[in-house]
Amino acid sequence: ENYDEVYEIFSSCAGAAMYNKAILEKIGLFDENFFAYMEDVDLSYRAKINGYKNLFCPDSVVYHIGSATTGSRYNKFKVKLAARNNVWTVYKNFPIPQKILNFIFLFLGFLIKYLFFVKKGFGKTYLEGIKEGLKTRNKINKVKFSKKNTKNYFKIEWKLIVNAVKFLKK
């Protein structure tokens, strides 16, 4: 009952999304370098940079077995790949000013995830993924900054701030 209206969301799970072909032709398809995990966030981020929206549609029904391919919610393969792809997502989509502005939040986010995975027994694996992401980030094609999208970057940043404040109030 809490999810009965259409509203804007930042990103859709690729296993539960429909994409407009014309938008994909403009912003590009899934980045094959990601392979799995965060490829949908990367695509959504590129859409937001270009002024497009993701909408949650409450009447949709999707059957998606999360982690079915990798076998479990937490495993070495998934943890390492997701950690690497988190680094790549930031590297690829954030322009330098946004990286600087969000540095402390990104650092804290990675630290909190690390501590979480330490508790789950995957701390070392998570760090391996982070290291791999940092070491191989140059193989990722960065989104070229365009002045025409400046307003969209401000909208994205505003949303990040609003969502952080909402999270901290909980």
What does the buried/exposed string (b/e) look like for 37-64 if buried means 16 or more CB atoms within 10 Å of the residue's CB? bbbbbbbbbbbbbeeeebeebeeeeeee
Output the CA angle 6-2-112, nearest 5 degrees.
95
Residue 51 in domain? yes
For 125-163, write each residue's pLDDT tens digit. 999 999 999 999 999 999 999 999 999 999 999 998 888
Residue 103 in domain? yes
Residue 62 DSSP one-character state: -
Overall pTM > 0.75: yes
Residue 68 has pLDDT above 80, yes or no: no
Bridge partner residues of 8 (DSSP): 55
User: Rounded mean pLDDT of the chain?
Assistant: 93
Residue 86 in domain? yes
| Stretch 76-95: mean pLDDT | 96
The domain of 45 spans 7-169
Residue 1 in domain? no
For 86-126, write each residue's pLDDT tens digit. 999 999 999 999 999 999 999 999 999 999 999 999 999 99
Residue 65 has pLDDT above 80, yes or no: no
Residue 9 phi, psi (nearest 5): -125, 165
Number of compact structural domains in the chain: 1
For 16-60, write each residue's pLDDT tens digit. 899 999 999 999 999 999 988 999 999 999 999 999 999 999 999
How far apart, in whole angstroms, are the C-alpha atoms of residue 114 and residue 53?
A: 31
Residue 27 in domain? yes
Residue 141 in domain? yes
Residue 71 has pLDDT above 80, yes or no: no
How far apart, in whole angstroms, are the C-alpha atoms of residue 145 and residue 113?
A: 29
| Stretch 1-7: mean pLDDT | 88
Residue 138 in domain? yes
56 Cβ contact list (under 8 Å, min separation 6): 3, 6, 7, 8, 9, 12
Residue 2 in domain? no
